[in-house]
Amino acid sequence: MEPLKIDISKTLEFLLYKDISRYQAEIDQHHEALRNRTGKGSDFLGWVNLPSSTSEDLLSEIEAAARRMQEIADIFVVVGIGGSYLGAKAVIDALSHHFSPLLSKEQRKAPLVIFAGQNICADYHADLMDILADKSYAVAVISKSGTTTEPAIAFRLLKQDLEKRYGKEGARERIIAVTDPESGALRKMATQEGYQTFSIPPDVGGRFSVLTPVGLLPIAVAGFDIRQLMAGARDMELHSQKYSDMNQNPVSLYAAVRNALYRRGKNIEILATYHPRLQYLVEWWKQLYGESEGKDLKAILPVGVGFTTDLHSMGQLIQDGERNLFETVISVAKTRRQVIIPTDAEDLDKLNYLAGKDMHTVNKMAEKGTLLAHIEGNVPNLVIEIPTISEYYIGQLFYFFEKACAISGYILGVNPFDQPGVEAYKVNMFALLGKAGYEELAKTLRERL
């Protein structure tokens, strides 16, 4: 199958080619650092060879667990936050019927996969329990530690409900834990309770974990082909290892162009899609780049938009606002389904000039017209094109963005694999909630509130 394509021609009105090519020698070094695990954050590089090193036995075990969940559950609840849910949701949303929650299990041919523990909203979780009250459901709880506040609260609610409804033994059959292979509260609980478990590799961070059981289990339960997903990622892995030259490697080219634009004062990257199916792929990308690059007072701010919808809300700012941004478009060559615009005898809406055209054609012209308008408005544009939305090409996109993120972070001079700033809010929250050991901080914080 053909690889994704990247077109940087609409950035060359804003950059000289030498502005981009100057990064080649540095990119060669960063490719070597990733291969040899010698760069910053080298203890979190397990994702680099993950697609090619994942065993057939693990994939088969995940598929077997998914079949078991499909047999006993109408709804499969995935408990996790950040990288423990965004990747799975990105794939499931991309491949599902747009109105999947309204379909029966028979129409979907798999349980409805929904998510919990990605927020601490009481209304959300109360509504969740309402929905589950008369449904057969099962749970995957995903956390390396088992003590992350948001998913831990959600899992406590769901565990108690399952045990009340099915008893300890019945609940055990409906809970799968995806966690650290050896340590942590969730691993201890899973061992004590006898839950089926899958391990998160210790050297793979949360935002890089979608191609581990973290993402693969929910995707398989939803009825999608995890082998094709891994095949797409594996092909991109092998291609990006074979070449580091940006003329042959889209990973290198994307990392170089975004950093060249950053040096020109373009410190906001807008990732745009014209397909609602890809909304959560954009959300996954936002976490990947925001958490990886936003440190040491440096960052290319990742912003996501869904066009043409957001052209009626964000379009004015993008067209005429401050010129500190650039745009990357995920373009899809062909949709799965065709909708032909009909003729209307009265033509009151003046749309008969579109009659007989496929809606995808209209969408593509909106994409091209917007690109030209934004370039005229001094917004550089990159285009990443995939032939269609499928497991294989989403797998390519995952690995493409992961590796480009690592190289781009190294160019920025940061460690792309840590997230020290994430802990700041947690410490304050623990203190304000009265957690033991935070008493002095709690006094200080209350004086400031």
Sign of CA dihedral 437, 438, 440, 443: negative
Sign of CA dihedral 334, 337, 342, 348: negative
Q: Would you identify the CATH topology of the domain 5-39+229-418?
A: Rossmann fold (3.40.50)
The pLDDT value given to residue 114: 97
CATH homologous superfamily of 50-224: Glucose-6-phosphate isomerase like protein; domain 1 (3.40.50.10490)
- Burial (CB < 10 A; 0-12, 13-18, 19+), residue 318, is buried
Interatomic CA distance for residues 411 and 194, integer angstroms: 46
The pLDDT value given to residue 434: 80
Is there a contact between 40 and 77 (Cβ–Cβ < 8 Å)?
no
Interatomic CA distance for residues 142 and 376, integer angstroms: 46
Residues of the chain with pLDDT under 50: none
β-strands 325-332, 5-7 pairing? unpaired
Is there a contact between 213 and 178 (Cβ–Cβ < 8 Å)?
yes
The pLDDT value given to residue 438: 85
Task: Supply the pTM of this predicted model.
Answer: 0.95
The pLDDT value given to residue 1: 65
Q: Cite the active site residues.
A: 291, 312, 426
Interatomic CA distance for residues 239 and 59, integer angstroms: 22
Is there a contact between 77 and 137 (Cβ–Cβ < 8 Å)?
yes
The reply to whether 5-39+229-418 and 50-224 are identical in fold is yes
Where in the chain are the domains? 5-39+229-418, 50-224, 420-449
CB atoms within 10 A of CB 421: 10
The pLDDT value given to residue 90: 98
CA neighbor of 270 nearest in space, from 309, 322, 318, 312:
318
Interatomic CA distance for residues 99 and 118, integer angstroms: 22
